[in-house]
Amino acid sequence: MGFFPHLLLAILEGTVAAAVLALSALGLSLVFGVMRVVNVAHGEFFMLGAMLAWFVAKSVPGGPAAGFVVALIVAPLAVGALAFVTERLLLRRINYDPEATIVATIGLMFVIQQLALTVFGADAKAVSAPFTYRIALPWFGFSGYKLFVVLASVALLLGVWWVLAKTKLGLIMRVTQFDRETATAFGIPVNQVYSAVFVAGAALVAIAAVLIVPIQQAHYLMGLDPLLMSFIVVIIGGLGSIKGSVIAAIIIGLSDGIISMFFSPTLASIIATLAVALVLVFRPQGLFGVPAR
């Protein structure tokens, strides 16, 4: 293949990575934007979603498509339930203190990781895609499932935007994000809002895991990369900025695909880390974040 086919393939692969990364980072950004806490166990929620997808896919009869559909329901519900218990029994007891939350979720991260190792084992788990249709291009064939991942991610991102911008629930979340005391004074149940947001963030990253696991294998240590990449996206886009996280995910995903294709994945990671450093030095609030007053 010549330069253009390689570039097209890199853009397509980068778009898939950007779509899944946007979903993962959106969950992290949503939690920080409303609750003002950092969930360090975010990557382990991703890993747990992938492991559950593998378990459900191998347990449900009817072929890969049936297993995928059931996993797409079961994994977000199960991970969301774990997030609900975490918020009630852990975060609420420490009053959502930012520093204490980081320490607590670091501990939770190791607990989930070791439980996954004990229950699922150390071997990587392969999951079959729900369909194997390939799009025939003049230079190469491209997986129809990967295109589905992009479309599904875009649909979910638009759905989250609609909830936040057009519904009463989104208005309540924005008021809570702006000022907790004011929200409480207006009768908004802040603790319930926090619980719903934390569950939603975990469910989003679990959905991202279910979508990506037919492309890459599930493993009990796979949560580190989504966590680091989500942090990179959120820092570049702006802490708490949903729009910034989505745009940063697109930039990081596409650049990672292109640089990995023509140079090396290591160089792509170095450039992403350098971008974070430059943003922190010259625009600490991120590209779309609001400066602290």
Kindly report the average pLDDT of the chain as a whole number: 87
Q: Is residue 289 part of a domain?
A: no
pLDDT per position as a tens digit, 96-149:
888 999 999 999 999 999 999 999 988 989 888 888 888 877 777 788 889 999
Tell me how far the alpha carbon of residue 245 is from its chain's centroid.
10
Q: Is residue 291 part of a domain?
A: no
pLDDT per position as a tens digit, 168-190:
888 888 888 777 787 888 788 88
Question: What's the total number of domains in the chain?
Answer: 1
pLDDT given at position 1: 61
Task: Say if residue 52's pLDDT is above 70.
Answer: yes
The C-alpha atoms of residue 32 and residue 172 are separated, in whole angstroms, by 16
CA end-to-end distance (rounded Å), the chain: 53
Instruction: Check which CATH number belongs to the domain holding 199 and give it.
Output: 1.10.3470
Q: Is residue 108 part of a domain?
A: yes
Q: Is residue 288 part of a domain?
A: no
Q: What pLDDT band is residue 32 in, cutting at 50, 70 and 90?
A: confident
Q: Is residue 287 part of a domain?
A: no
pLDDT given at position 212: 92
Q: Is residue 46 part of a domain?
A: yes
Task: Say if residue 292's pLDDT is above 60.
Answer: no
Q: If 0-12 CB within 10 Å is exposed, 13-18 middle and 19+ buried, where does residue 20 land?
A: buried
Q: Is residue 202 part of a domain?
A: yes
**Domain extent for 166:** 3-282
